[in-house]
Structure 1
Amino acid sequence: MTETPEERAAALPHLRRGRLKKGDPVPLPLTMASIYHLPGDPAGFSQYGRFDNQTWEATEELLAHLEDAEAVAFPSGMAAITAVFLSVLKSGDRLLLPTDGYYTPRVFAERFLNGLGITVETRPTAEFLEGGFAGYRMVFVETPSNPGLALCDLEKVAREAHAAGALVVADNTTMTPYGQRPLDLGADMVVAADTKATNGHSDALFGHVASRDPALIASVREWRTLSGAIPGPFEAWLVHRGLETLEVRFERMCNSAETIAERLAGHPAVAAVSFPGLPHHPQHELARRQMLCCGFLIGLTLASAENAERFIDTCSLIQPATSFGGVHSSAERRARWGDAVAPGFVRMSVGCEPVEELWKAMSAALDALV
């Protein structure tokens, strides 16, 4: 029987319990080692720091528990994404990417994959099903898209892509396994930047790939070992600690985002709000059907770049920073990075502050723009 999110969350902090001996530390120990004591036959033992590390393996165990699939950890979300590309694609293959997703995979694909003879094409997230998937080796989706929060129907994409012979990879960074389960909807692989909400404390870079296909995950794992794209044990330890509180943090952040998005939509200083939980979002019904909640990211458009910067700088409970998913609320004007959004578009990540205090600070900063 499939576990409920509550059952999965309850079991996660206790996964190590069955292996503990009397007197063992309950918190995960940090293993800082590049070499191991290895006399005689090395088979079946930790051998070298590029092959094995008990700390990152413990973190992979938690990630695998949440994904209900084998997970392989990487030193960043982009390391996870590039591992998927380079362990699967070969010269002559075609790759489909979203035009409005996180921009770095597109830059990487254009700069490096084209040179390897891999054809890279793009399509808007909301129109991902248009045009079909014939001839593609890999279809890479990000839903909700970052930063615009557009959606595509993951189940339909997976069904039609598989019928055309393509693999489906889903970037689930914005939602985590508590908010959306792409593998359950048919994706072959999931990638995520655990730097964000999974770690949650803005102090470590990390990423992972998960898949229920043994051949795909073995190829990704071999890529990691041979390329040396391994996570650091200290970062893995931090992410392990973050995973133990992810469920409670994620629930607080998402509930607060629902409240704040509705209030933002009614504020005179705000020209537009993009949040899948709002009834006017173009894919609201899809969000309610496909996602377990509507996330903690909100896109809001203010009248100008100047207003956006002023709002971010003057709100006492918003941290001006790139990235998202921390315990603190943060925001940035995404046009400064070249995203195809309005100059006054702000991507805001709702944190763990008490929601009424957070709204008080936000509304004060917005009121000053009217």
Structure 2
Amino acid sequence: MDFSTMAIHEGQAPDAATGATVVPVYQTSTFTQQGIGEHKGFEYSRLSNPTRTALEVSLAALEHARYGLAFASGLAAEHAVFSLLNPGDHIVTVANVYGGTVRLFERLFSRYGITFSYVEGSDAQEFEGAIGSNTKLIWLETPTNPLLTIVDIEAVASIARARGVLLAVDNTFASPYFQRPLELGADIVVQSTTKYIAGHSDVIGGAVLLNDASIYEELRFFQNTIGAIPGPQDVWLTLRGVKTLAVRMRQHETNAFAVARFLQDHPRVSQVYFPGLPQHPNHEVARRQMSGFGGMVSFRLKEGNRESVNAFVKKLKVFSLADSLGGVESLVCFPMVMTHDAVPEKQRLELGITGDLLRLSIGIEGIDDLLADLKQALA
């Protein structure tokens, strides 16, 4: 079945009771039971809710997964995955990872005796070298945030499988429309549904998708026990966004290509990061494992200082300075003090997250308007 068809119909059959074509918002905390131990599949909304179930089925279908679990945020979804580990366990991850993930690693799970190693990620053999006897999980972002490094999922999956290590992939930047890590050998996929999945900057959410029944049951236990679940209204907004995911992702990518090419030729720009450009160091890997290159573009201003960056963002009229990404509107972000403020300064500078770096979430506005806005702000 075509992706667009699945996005509209999987998990979203017309309501059996009323014939409503759109999944209802089941705004209830609890469900009436017919007798002790007798119910219609739902007892309490922390355990499950029909609206949430619809989203979980939908997202699982889009990632080609058997199971889906929805969470209150992307970080709540990550927390559940990291809860699979025990004191003394070790995680290998890409160095250029979302700042909120670093905060989870270094300021929360490190308290529980879990250790972490960071590798650049372009060469899969780096992961092989970082795996130890206590390594239980490899955590990937690809494309990474904010430098858009592409990690070869299939190559890392082969290493993880041979060493008996789980592989989890944060697929937020690509979305299931452009990349499906489970098909490339990953064990677990995580999405911040806040971003492209919901797509309208009006809801916070996360999800975990997977095929292994035993891991699913453990994660489902964490979902219920920790209780970081999305409410029915948030789930409904996310489901609404899912329906147009394919259409939006195509336009995000089309606009991103045009923006990347414009920036590449601009005299005030020293470097552009977009995996769709042939000059990107991981372009061939991206072509192989992705069906498209996404809507994120990062770049460096030649002046290389916070003052010139601040002057640039203040001149923008269509782009807004804001955290997050993946909405229909175009955003600009200054990672050094926004998405990666939780990363220690030394580590941040080593990664290249410096005062000249800007990240763009390219929206679906008219491309002429986006290019004109960038042109006048760079003038």
Structure 1 position 271 matched with structure 2 position 283: no
Measured in 2, the distance between the counterparts of 1:293 and 1:271 equals 25
Measured in 1, the distance between the counterparts of 2:197 and 2:267 equals 34
Q: Of 99, 102, 120, which aligns to 2:98?
A: 102
**Match runs of 1:1-370 below 5 Å:** 3=1, 7-15=2-10, 20-21=15-16, 23-43=18-38, 45-69=41-65, 70-86=67-83, 88-130=84-126, 132=128, 133-135=131-133, 136-302=135-301, 303=303, 304-337=305-338, 338=341, 339-340=348-349, 341-366=353-378, 368=379
CA 1:23–1:235 in structure 2 vs 1: closer, same or farther (change >3 Å)?
closer
Percent identity reads: 35
Preserved contact between residue 15 and residue 22 of structure 2 (Cα < 8 Å): no
Measured in 2, the distance between the counterparts of 1:245 and 1:34 equals 29
Measured in 1, the distance between the counterparts of 2:44 and 2:213 equals 23
- Return structure 1 stretches of 4+ with deviation > 6 angstroms: none
Preserved contact between residue 166 and residue 187 of structure 2 (Cα < 8 Å): yes
Measured in 2, the distance between the counterparts of 1:342 and 1:116 equals 31
Query: Which one scores higher on RCO, CA 8 angstroms, separation ≥ 6?
Result: 2
With the length of structure 1 as denominator, give the TM-score of the two structures.
0.94
Measured in 2, the distance between the counterparts of 1:192 and 1:153 equals 18
With the length of structure 2 as denominator, give the TM-score of the two structures.
0.91
- Is there any run of 5+ residues in structure 2 with no aligned partner, and where? 342-347
- Is there any run of 5+ residues in structure 1 with no aligned partner, and where? none
The RMSD of aligned alpha carbons is 1.6
Measured in 1, the distance between the counterparts of 2:291 and 2:311 equals 34
Preserved contact between residue 306 and residue 344 of structure 1 (Cα < 8 Å): no
Measured in 1, the distance between the counterparts of 2:298 and 2:233 equals 33
Q: Deviations over 1:298-356 (max 9, x none)?
A: 01101222222222221211011011111100011111244441211000000010112
**Cα offset, 1:178, TM superposition:** 0.4
Secondary structure of 2:138's match? strand
**Cα offset, 1:42, TM superposition:** 2.9
Preserved contact between residue 121 and residue 127 of structure 2 (Cα < 8 Å): no
AA of the residue aligned to 1:173: T
**Cα offset, 1:125, TM superposition:** 2.5
Preserved contact between residue 124 and residue 155 of structure 2 (Cα < 8 Å): no
CA 1:118–1:358 in structure 2 vs 1: closer, same or farther (change >3 Å)?
same
CA 1:313–1:42 in structure 2 vs 1: closer, same or farther (change >3 Å)?
farther
**Cα offset, 1:271, TM superposition:** 1.1
**Cα offset, 1:23, TM superposition:** 4.8
Count of residues in Structure 1 that have an aligned counterpart in Structure 2 = 361
Secondary structure of 1:334's match? coil
Q: Deviations over 1:176-227 (max 9, x none)?
A: 0001111111000000101011111111100000001111111111111111
Moved more, 51-60 or 181-190: 51-60
Measured in 2, the distance between the counterparts of 1:104 and 1:17 equals 32
Secondary structure of 1:140's match? strand
Q: Deviations over 1:114-148 (max 9, x none)?
A: 22222222112324532513431100011111011
AA of the residue aligned to 2:115: T
Measured in 2, the distance between the counterparts of 1:290 and 1:39 equals 50
AA of the residue aligned to 2:334: R
